[in-house]
Amino acid sequence: MKKGLLEKIKNTVSTLCKEANYGIREDIFEALCQAEKEEKEELPKFILSTLIENINISREEKIPVCQDTGMAEVFVEVGKGVKIEGILLKKNILEGVKEGYEEGNLRKSVVKDPLFSRKNTGDNTPPLIHLSFSPLLEKEIKIIVFPRGFGAENMGKVAMLNPQEGREGVKRFVLGAIREAGANPCPPIIVGIGIGGTMQTSMFLAKKALLRPIKIRNPHPKYALLEKELLKEINDLRIGAQGMGGMNTCLGVNIEHFPTHIAGLPLAVNISCYALREAQKVIRVSS
C-alpha cells in the first residue's frame, strides 16, 4: 500500500470520529423532529425538544452530542482490485482514532483490562475494526466510523432460540429486552436485530442493521413486516422519551438476517440511544 493512501486512511478516520460525534445521523434527526411534533404529553415533549436543541448546539459549537463519545467501531469495506496490507491498515486506523479523539475533544472511555485493573488507555484505543470485501465498490475503500456509547450498548442481548419458537419467539425476546432496558439506553431508541448465522454473527448482524437508514425496510417482505410490527409494539410499551412515557419509545427497527444451522435460530438485539452517531466516507484508490 502506498504511503499516501495510508495517510489518507488515517486522516479520514480521524475526521470521521469528530464528524460522527458532533450531532447525530440525519435520518434519525428527521425522525426525532417528527416525534417531537407528534408527541402530546408534556414531559416527553419537553425531553424531545431539549434533545433537538442539544443536537443543534452540538453541530454549531462542535461540542459532542453526548459525553459518552464511545468506543470506536470502524467498518472498512474494500472494493474490487484494491490491494491492502492488513497490518499497516490496522495501524493507520488506530492512529486515526487516537488523533480524532484527541483533536476533537472527545472523551477517552476505553480501559485496557476489562476485569482487573480497568486502567484507561488514555487515547480511546484500541478501536474495533471490521474488515470486509465488497463487490459493490470499485477501486475504493469505504470507511464507516460508528462510535458506540455504552449506556445503550450495555442493553444488548443474544439468545439461541429453539427454531420452533419462530416469529413469536423472536418478538417476545426483543420486547423483553427493551422492556428490561427501560429508560437506561436513552430512548427514543433505534433497535438493530440480527437473526441467523452463529452466535457472534447474529450480534454482528444486529449492529450492521443499525447502519441502515431507518426509512429503508428489509428487502424481504416477511422481515419488513416484522420490522413494522415490532416498531409498533415497542412504542406500545410507552416507555417514552427518556422513560417519561408517551408515544415515542422507538424511532426505528432494522432487521438483518443470514443463513443458519438446521438446529438453530440465533437472535441478537443491539440498541442504539436516540443519538445514533455514524459517519462514513469512500476513498478512491488511484493506480
Partner 1 sequence: MGKEFIKLFTPLKREKVIKLKAGEKVLITGVIYTARDAAHKKLVRLIKEKKPLPFLLDDQIIYYTAPTPPGRGKVIGACGPTTSSRMDKYTPLLLSRGLRGVMGKGQRSVEVKEAIKKNEAIYFITIGGAGAYLSRRVKKAEIIAFPEIEPEAIYKLWVEDFPAIVGIDARGEDLYQNLWRNK
**Given the rule CB under 8 A, which residues bind partner 1?**
42-43, 46-47, 50-51, 53-55, 57-58, 61-69, 105-109, 118, 120, 151, 154, 182-184, 186, 237-240, 242-245, 273-275
The beta strand positions in the chain, using DSSP E, are 71-78, 128-133, 140-148, 157-161, 189-197, 250-260, 265-272, 279-284
Q: How far is the CB of 171 from partner 1 (least distance, A)?
A: 19
| Bond into 188 cis (ω within 30) | yes
Q: How far is the CB of 190 from partner 1 (least distance, A)?
A: 12
Q: How far is the CB of 73 from partner 1 (least distance, A)?
A: 19
Q: Identify which of residues 11 and 184 has a Cβ nearer to partner 1 in the complex.
A: 184
Q: Identify which of residues 151 and 169 has a Cβ nearer to partner 1 in the complex.
A: 151
Side-by-side strand order, sheet with 265-272: 157-161, 265-272, 189-197, 250-260
Q: Identify which of residues 196 and 243 has a Cβ nearer to partner 1 in the complex.
A: 243
- With a CB cutoff of 8 Å and minimum separation 6, the contacts of 282 are 137, 140, 141, 142, 143
Q: How far is the CB of 38 from partner 1 (least distance, A)?
A: 17
Q: How far is the CB of 57 from partner 1 (least distance, A)?
A: 4
**Contact yes or no for 162/226 (Cβ under 8 A):** no
Q: Identify which of residues 58 and 92 has a Cβ nearer to partner 1 in the complex.
A: 58
Q: Chain centroid to CA 100: how far?
A: 18
Q: Identify which of residues 74 and 244 has a Cβ nearer to partner 1 in the complex.
A: 244
Q: How far is the CB of 154 from partner 1 (least distance, A)?
A: 7
Of the candidates 25, 70, 49, which has an alpha carbon nearest to the alpha carbon of residue 216?
A: 25
Type of residue found at 204: F
Q: Identify which of residues 90 and 108 has a Cβ nearer to partner 1 in the complex.
A: 108
